[in-house]
Each structure stands twice: as structure tokens, then as C-alpha cells.
Amino acid sequence: MLERAQPWTPDRSRLLFAWLVERRVVLAWWAGSRAIVVAGILVIHWLRAPRGYFGHAIFAHILGPLEAWDGIWYRAVAARGYLLVPGHQSDPAFFPFYPLLLKLVGLTGMSVGAAGVVLSNLLFAGALLAFDALGHELFPDALARRATLLLAVFPTGYVCSMLYPESLVLLAFALAGLFAARGRWLACAAAAAVAALARPEGVLLVLPIAAALASQWRRLDPDQRGRGIAAVLSAPAAAISFPVYLWWTLHDPFAWSEAQQAWGRSFRIGGLWHSLSRMGDELSRQPWAARDIGFGAVTLLLLAAAWRAGAPRTWILLGALLVVVPLGSGSFNSDARFALLALPAYWGLAWLASTRAVFTLLALLCAGLLAAATVTLPLVFP
């Protein structure tokens, strides 16, 4: 039977406070990394430069750059729901859970944009804490903590302060892995469902969850096995519910796929080969593609390091798929952002940073690149 929820007591409050104090280093690095991002945004706002693709309206608002790009679309979904415009870029391309949170947080009276920036930053703090706990389940304490701190300042992490769902998905990924490792299958199912309703990549959680269930199978009773199977199926089931919802609201179960095509995200046989064979053409047409190509390659190398560090193989496979599957669209566009969700990469990076000197050097390099990525936000799509 399910356990009854325990009432909140002063003792539980003290335990929570003590738990947070033990992780004050993680929270300090979260605050420091977000300060870097905010400082970069303030520089953009004050200088009104680089202008890039941003107009006056974005520069006029101090948080404007953090609400730009796809943030405009997520804000639109939160405000009015979905609308498919055949043959044109439209919002069914964006999964629903993050805009739903934006709508709920907007009920506080804050503007949806400001509420979203606050929400994304707080979710990133939660993601770091959950990832830290997951790392301690799988690795020695020192390596787990280094991985968390390096994730906090990772260069592409600026997107976790924007109106994007990446911080939410990072949190859901880490919680799903943590709950699976601890055999808390219903909580795992909920976290996996959230991930799959926030980004399509959430479906890939079926791999590590199934592996965790298989490793615990023999010592589980039939009721626990049933919950474990539910956890394995939760992400695919949640993902399938989105086209069902679009069928109900827009009378088109393929609205997501049609919208993706208008955004240039039509996946096809040979798409991966097309991405690789036309890499030179993409770089000559858009030099910023070097960012996505570079971070995709670095992520794969870090996954190899995570393999050497002893990371679970299904997590490594998940990370590799996060990098490779988007290339099926025929382009490297945004692959750096998609690779941000590859949790084992940070374990691999921490494994490489086994000495204080190397860790300090990598942390400083990441922080510098984080600042550079933030101030160039008007120039290139995340």
C-alpha cells in the first residue's frame, strides 16, 4: 500500500535546513554561475550590443534577452494555448509542461516573462541538488560533487536562466535517475513523465529506468515490480499523450510533426549522414555552427571518459543519443543545447578533473565560456 503523507513538523524543517547547509557549496556555485549570466545580460542591456537578431523591444527590457528566441513561443503557449499554422512556424512544436508552469507561476501577478526567468533559475538550483544526490548514489563523493559544480558553470548552462525548459528537464532527468536507483518507482514515474512532457528527449529515460529495474528485479515483490514497470513506461506514455491532446484540441494528432517540419526539424533516413557530409557547407553558411559541432563532439568525448569512470552504460547511451538523434534532422543546429542534458558527460568531466589544479582550470575555463556565451546571445540561436 502507498505510504500516507507525513505532516510537516518543526523537526522536518530542521532536517531540511541541515540538508541544505550540507550542500551550501552547490548552492553557492549555482548563485555564482547565475550571477555570471545576469551580469552578461546587464552588459547587453546597457550597451544595447551586440545587436544581432534582437530588436529594440528586447533591449528595452532588462531581462529581455533571457525571454527571447524560443522563450517568445513558450510565453505564447502559456498565454493562449496551441495554434497550428500549416506551412509556417507555429507553437505545437513546443511541448506543454514548461508553458503550463509558466502559466501557473504567472498567477502570482508577475509578468510571465519575469516569472519564467525566476522559475528557470530556481529549477536549475533543484536540478543541481538532484544531480548531486544522483552522483553520490553512483560514484565516490568527491567525483559526484565535482561533477555537480562543473555542471553549475558549464558554458551552455546560460539557457537554464532563460524561458526554456532545459532546467526543468535536467531536474526531471536527475530525479528520475535518483528515484530509480532508490527503488521509489512511483516518484520515478512522475519525474519521467514530467521530462517527457517538457522535451521529447524525455522518452530516452526508459533506458536507465529499465536498467535500474532489471538490476533490482530479483529482490522486488510483485507489487514493486508492477510499479517499476509503470516507471519504465511512464515517459513513453506521457509523450504519446501530447499528440492525443493535440488531436483533441487541434483535431490533428500530427500537429507536432508538422510544426517541427516548418522549424526545419523533419527527421528522415539519411539525416545523420547529411549532417556529417555537409558539415563544411553548414560552417561556411553559418560559422556559429562550430559551437554546436564542437560541443557535440566534446560531449561524446566526455561520455567516453564517463565510461572509463564507471558510469552506468544506459546513461552513457542516453547521453550519446541526445547528441546524435537531433542530427537526423540534417543539421547541427542547437546540438550544443540538446547535449546539455547528457548527465554522464559531467561525470566524465569530473573524472578528468581528478586533481585540484585541473579542476580549478576547468572551472575557470567553463565560467569564462559561460560569460562569453551569454553576451553573444543576440548573435546566435541557443
Of 371 and 264, the structure prediction assigns the larger pLDDT to: 371
pLDDT given at position 272: 82
Which has the minimum average pLDDT: 20-24, 160-164, 224-228, 343-347? 20-24
pLDDT over 90, % of the chain: 75
What is the predicted pLDDT for the residue at 262? 76
3-state secondary structure of 319: helix
Nearest Cα to 308, choosing from 341, 354, 339, 340? 354
pLDDT band at 2 (very low <50, low <70, confident <90, very high): very low
Which pLDDT belongs to residue 6? 59
Least reliable range by pLDDT among 34-38, 57-61, 152-156, 339-343: 57-61
Joined together, the cell numbers standing for residue 129 give: 541538488
Phi, psi of 220 (to 5 degrees): -95, 145
Q: How confident is the model at residue 273 (pLDDT cuts 50, 70, 90)?
A: confident
pLDDT over 80 (residue 45): yes
The SS3 assignment for 111 reads coil
Name the residue with cell 536498467.
211
Give pLDDT, residue 1.
Answer: 38
The alpha-helical segments, DSSP class H, found in the chain are: 10-22, 24-47, 56-60, 70-80, 97-106, 112-138, 141-152, 166-181, 185-198, 206-216, 222-250, 255-262, 271-277, 279-285, 289-309, 313-324, 335-339, 344-352, 356-375
* 3-class secondary-structure state, position 17: helix
Percent of the chain with pLDDT over 70: 98
Determine the pLDDT at residue 195: 98
Instruction: Tell me the HSE value of 316 on the side-chain side, using a 13 A CA sphere.
Output: 16
DSSP, collapsed to helix, strand or coil, labels residue 65 as helix
CA-closest candidate to residue 197, choices 238, 233, 166: 238
Cell reading at 256: 507536432
Cα–Cα nearest to 268, from 321, 330, 338: 330
Reference 258, options 10, 22, 92, 50; nearest CA is: 92
Q: Are 177 and 167 contacting, i.e. CB atoms less than 8 angstroms apart?
A: no
Average pLDDT estimate for 335-361? 97
Residue 108 has pLDDT above 90, yes or no: no
| Spacing of C-alpha 322 from chain mean position | 11
Q: Work out the pLDDT band at 3, boundaries 50, 70, 90.
A: very low
Q: Round to whole Å and give the CA distance between 161 and 278.
A: 32
Cα separation values, 137 from 142, 182, 317, Å = 12, 9, 19
Given a contact cutoff of 8 angstroms between Cβ atoms, the answer to whether 43 and 137 are in contact is no
State the angle between helix axes of 141-152 and 344-352 in degrees (0 to 180), rounded to the nearest 10: 110
Is residue 268's pLDDT more than 80? no
Q: pLDDT at residue 83 above 80? A: yes
Nearest CA to 298 out of 155, 177, 199 is that of 155
Q: Is the pLDDT of residue 5 over 60?
A: no
Q: Please determine, for residue 7, whether its predicted confidence score (pLDDT) is greater than 70.
A: no
Question: pLDDT value at position 15?
Answer: 80
Tens of pLDDT, residues 179-222: 999 999 999 999 999 999 999 999 999 999 999 999 999 999 99
Q: Per-residue pLDDT averaged across 104-127, rounded? A: 92
Q: What pLDDT does residue 277 have?
A: 80
pLDDT one-digit tens code per residue, 354-377: 999 999 999 999 999 999 999 999
| pLDDT tens for each residue of 278-300 | 888 888 888 899 999 999 999 99
CA 94 to mean position of chain CA atoms: 14
The C-alpha atoms of residue 355 and residue 174 are separated, in whole angstroms, by: 26
- pLDDT averaged over the chain? 92
Q: How far apart are CA 239 and CA 303, in angstroms?
A: 26
Do the beta carbons of residue 76 and residue 179 sit within 8 Å? no
Range of lowest pLDDT (76-80, 82-86, 262-266, 269-273): 262-266
pTM as predicted: 0.94
Q: What is the pLDDT of residue 166?
A: 98
pLDDT digits (tens, 9 = 90+) for 175-190: 999 999 999 999 999 9
